[in-house]
Structures are given as C-alpha cells and as structure tokens.
C-alpha cells in the first residue's frame, strides 16, 4: 500500500476498524435490515460518534422510496450522540462532547463563505451522494464489501457513524442527548423557516399549512417570535389540538372546507403577513398564496411531486406585491442555530420533545410505518 493510500484509508493502514451495527437499505422501497458492519477510523477532518438517538424524517422516507440514492446505503440524517474519536485536524470537537449531526456542506463555496451552508453549491453531492465527495470512498463496509454511508454526511441509522467536523455540532449536556437528533433537520427546518427565513416579528401574523414535525416546530417558533396570530391548517384532529397547545391561535380543518383561504383570512384576521407550506401539495400552495396580505411572503419547505408547478395567479401577486421562496434547512447556520434551539428548549419555549415517539433501533421499520401512516409525528430511534 502506498503512503497516499494509507493516508486515505486508516483501516487499511493498520488502524483498528470500529465494529458497529447499521440498518442497511438494499433495494428501493425495501425494508431495513440491521447488520454488523465495520467503520474506518476518522480521517483528518472527521469525527467518530456513538449514536444515542436518531430521528426519522420525511426525507428518509422519500429516499427509501423513489428518490434515487446509491445502494446499498445507510440512511438517517437526524443523529445525535457522543464523540468517541476525532481526526488529527479537528479542533472544534473533542471526545466526550455531546453532538447533533446536521446536513453537510463543502465549506468553501460562495454561499458557505457567507455562512449560508444550506445553499451550498455542492449540497446534492455532499448530502445525497452516499460517499465522500473528495474521493468517492465510504467509511463503512459489510463483510468486506462497501456500504454507502455518507448520507447527509452522517448515515446515522447506525450504532456508530463517521461525520465531518463541518456537520458535527457540539451542544449542551443539560438535555438528554438521545432526543436532540431532530434538531439537525426537521425541527431546524420548521423553526428556522419562521425565525431565519421569513423573519417573523412581534405582532406579525402567520399561517402554517401542515402540522407535522416541521409545521409544529414552526408554530413553536412563531410563538417565540411573538406573532399575534398563528393559524394552522391541518386535517388531523389530534395534531390540530396539539398545535393549539403549542401556541397556535387557530387550528382549521381543511376537510370539507370549500374556501380554506377565506377561513384563514377570517382567523388572520384579514389575511396573514407570512405563510409557510410544509405539505408540498400544489393546491394547498395556491391557497396559501391567496391568504397573504400586501407585501406578504410565502415560504415553501414541503416536498412536492417531481413534476409539480407553482399554481400562482401572477396578477394577484403583482397587485399585492407578495412573494414566494423555497427555503432549505430553515436558512440555518447550524453551528449557531442548533445551540440556540437547545437553549430555547431549556428555557421551556421549544418543547419539541412533545412531538417525539420513541422506538428501539431494531424497530426501525415500524418507525417508518408510523411516519408514513401518520401515527407518529417524529419517531426517534433510541440506541
């Protein structure tokens, strides 16, 4: 083995591999199988984390199904745990730290340089490629065969993972670490869309379409922001009730409502200054646009069908001067925003734990079933 190969692959260079267990997806739409795997030791800029908990996100569901990812793969991108080892070049993270794993980014493109890593020019390759972008390698193997294990720079459906310092966020040890994983994506997206993207302020009015984990996180964030009206549109009655408990001023059932737009305007009252769609449903997005007051803004975070178009009446938008923008990961700089979310939780202002249903790691398929059938808002696998 050459010196270059040794630097690239510490396990082949003679350093001990890490024994781990991982939930491997081998075919689109298939079931996960928990198997024994081996992980390389962390490279210079990498971190080895023992996973304590990991959330199941809608993106995981989509990537298990129709969205193309390389197989076999370990999904999971809402991991949290304890650092066990770091590479020689890591300075911000230390063994023993409690950490949340979040999306990956290149760290050097113009948007990363502006502290907007969620719009990294290389976002798709860094997060959906399944391998290290630098050389196409993966840190995980199964019986000597490679397993794609860099999903969102972490692949956290595993007992251990290799992440980069770039997407490993140190957090307070005052909160149970196994619950914090969803801050890395779902909670960050919902809360960030309100606080960072739409920039809701005291006295503003907000309509939130969909009350899943992202939508309910947006409700809590709108309350933190001091919004005067927080209107939730959601067909599930238990989620409407929870939205009201978490800070919504009105929770509307769109089922059988012939004019959801009119109902939101009445609850607004008169309309809303900001709206957030978490559903990705074109008809819902069209209705949301019409709820906006002049100079209002609609944010899009829901995953639409691949061929969906924006159902907008351009003249209606022009006469009101309203806008619409898609947001990624709540416009977050995770190194700043995730610790801020933890502090909101410690202060009692972001009780995201109320969204969580716990599953054991071996129940990963049941957790996915609960996500798709709606019986759980935010499943978290506890390791």
CA pair distance 106, 209, nearest whole angstrom = 32
Q: Which pLDDT value is given to residue 66?
A: 83
Q: Is residue 42 within 8 Å of 11, Cβ to Cβ? A: no
CB under 8 Å to 193, separation ≥6 — which residues?
214, 218, 221, 276, 299, 301, 327, 330, 331
- In angstroms, the CA 363 to CA 17 distance is 26
Look up the CATH architecture of domain 3-184+351-382: Alpha-Beta Complex (3.90)
The CATH homologous superfamily of the domain defined by 190-327? NAD(P)-binding Rossmann-like Domain (3.40.50.720)
* 158 touches 149 (CB < 8 A): yes
Q: pLDDT tens, position by position, for the chain (383 residues)? A: 333 344 344 444 446 899 999 999 999 999 999 999 999 999 999 999 999 999 999 999 999 998 999 999 999 999 999 999 999 999 999 999 999 999 999 999 999 999 999 999 999 999 999 999 999 999 999 999 999 999 999 999 999 999 999 999 999 999 999 999 999 999 999 999 999 999 999 999 999 999 999 999 999 999 999 999 999 999 999 999 999 999 999 999 999 888 999 999 999 999 999 999 999 999 999 999 999 999 999 999 999 988 999 999 999 999 999 999 999 999 999 999 999 999 999 999 999 999 999 999 999 999 999 999 999 999 999 99
Domain boundaries for CATH 3.90.180.10 within the chain: 3-184+351-382
Of the candidates 163, 160, 133, 137, which has an alpha carbon nearest to the alpha carbon of residue 148? 137
Q: Where in the chain is the domain with CATH 3.40.50.720?
A: 190-327
Give ∠ CA 160-164-167 in degrees, rounded to 5.
100
Phi and psi torsions of 7, nearest 5°:
-70, -35
Measured CA distances, 215 to 151, 184, 377 (Å):
24, 15, 10
Provide DSSP, 299-316: EE-S---TT------HHH
Q: What pLDDT is stored for residue 15 in this prediction?
A: 64
Which pLDDT does position 14 carry in this prediction?
A: 44
Q: What is the pLDDT, as a whole number, of residue 332?
A: 95
Quick one: pLDDT at residue 7? 39
**For residues 80 and 105, is the Cβ–Cβ distance under 8 A?**
no
Residues 6+ apart with CB under 8 A from 216: 190, 239, 242, 243, 246, 355, 377
């Amino acid at each position: 083995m050459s010196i270059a190969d040794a630097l690239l692959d510490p396990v082949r260079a003679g350093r001990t591999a890490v024994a781990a267990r991982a939930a491997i997806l081998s075919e689109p739409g298939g079931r996960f199988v928990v198997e024994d795997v081996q992980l390389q030791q962390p490279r210079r800029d990498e971190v080895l984390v023992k996973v304590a908990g990991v959330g199941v996100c809608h993106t995981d569901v989509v990537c298990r199904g129709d969205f193309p990812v390389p197989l076999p793969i370990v999904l999971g991108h809402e991991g949290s745990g304890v650092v066990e080892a770091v590479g020689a070049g890591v300075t911000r993270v230390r063994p023993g730290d409690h950490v949340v794993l979040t999306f990956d980014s290149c760290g050097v493109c113009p948007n990363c340089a502006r502290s907007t890593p969620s719009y990294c020019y290389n976002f798709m390759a860094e997060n959906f490629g399944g391998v290290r972008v630098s050389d196409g390698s993966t840190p995980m193997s199964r019986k000597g065969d490679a397993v794609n294990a860099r999903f969102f720079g972490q692949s956290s459906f595993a007992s251990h993972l290799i992440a980069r310092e770039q997407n490993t966020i140190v957090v307070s040890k005052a909160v149970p670490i196994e619950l914090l994983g969803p801050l890395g994506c779902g909670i960050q997206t919902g809360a960030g869309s309100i606080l960072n993207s739409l920039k809701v302020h005291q006295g503003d009015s907000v309509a939130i379409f969909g009350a899943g984990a992202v939508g309910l996180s947006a409700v809590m964030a709108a309350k933190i922001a001091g919004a005067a009206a927080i209107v939730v549109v959601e067909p599930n009655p238990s989620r409407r009730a929870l939205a009201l408990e978490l800070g919504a001023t009105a929770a509307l059932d769109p089922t059988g409502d012939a004019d959801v737009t009119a109902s939101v305007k009445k609850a607004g009252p008169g309309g809303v200054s900001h709206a957030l769609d978490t559903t990705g449903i074109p008809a819902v997005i069209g209705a949301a646009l019409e709820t906006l007051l002049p100079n209002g803004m609609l944010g899009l975070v829901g995953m639409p069908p691949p061929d969906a178009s924006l159902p907008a009446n351009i003249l209606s938008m022009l006469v009101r001067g309203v806008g619409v923008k898609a947001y990624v990961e709540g416009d977050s700089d995770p190194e700043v925003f995730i610790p801020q979310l933890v502090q909101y939780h410690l202060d009692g202002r972001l009780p995201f734990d109320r969204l969580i249903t716990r599953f054991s790691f071996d129940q990963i398929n049941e957790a996915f079933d609960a996500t798709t059938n709606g019986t759980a808002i935010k499943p978290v696998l506890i390791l």
